[in-house]
Amino acid sequence: MIYQGRAHKYGRDVDTDVIIPARYLTTSDPDQLAGHCLEDLDPGFVSRVKLGDVLIAEENFGCGSSREHAPIAIKGAGVSCVIAKSFARIFYRNAINMGLPIYECPEAVNGIDAGDDVRVDTEKGEITNLTRGVVFKITPFPPFVREIIESGGLINYVRAKLKVEG
């Protein structure tokens, strides 16, 4: 897979309350949630983000609540993948389980500024800053996690495991 878009960059400890505030948790509709994505951190994000754009963040992205509404909102807003120095563990699971690509790559975070054009090539295992012409290596996921991703998320993986027909 290739993901390509403009970088939106944030600091450390971006929590799920700012990714999608609890006042909007009375729905799980991706379009409705996407309309409020990151609104308490960066009110202009929703109007600026374009399909395929990439979120870049420092340590502990997605800390706080277990709300799956957070990766749903990010994906719904058109973001193709998230690159951070580290992810909070529930957000990490949620993203893998629902098929939002996420990469832990401190070097890439240091080497990408807001507004840079970024390409992620999952087969080559590379993140490229197209604006600066710099390439960063991605550490591969553990085989078991790769299996979930290649199944298209946890639900498909479980369907296959339980051999559900249809």
Q: Could you say which of 63, 112, 120, 138 contacts other proteins (CB under 8 A)? A: 63
Residue 121 binding other proteins, by CB under 8 A: no
Q: How far is the CB of 60 from other proteins (least distance, A)?
A: 4
List 55's β-bridge partners, or say none. Answer: 8, 82
* Token duo for residue 48: 């600026």
CA atoms within 13 A on the CB side of 76: 19
Instruction: Give the x/- contact pattern for other proteins in 69-108, rule: CB under 8 A.
Output: x--x-------------x-xxx--xx--xx----------
Q: Which residues contact 121 (CB under 8 A, 6 or more apart)?
A: 1, 2, 127, 128
Could you give the CA distance from residue 62 to residue 92 in angstroms, rounded to a whole number?
8
Contact residues for other proteins (CB under 8 A)? 13, 15, 17-18, 21-23, 25-28, 40-41, 59-60, 63-69, 72, 86, 88-90, 93-94, 97-98, 142, 144-145, 153-155, 157-159, 161-162, 164-166
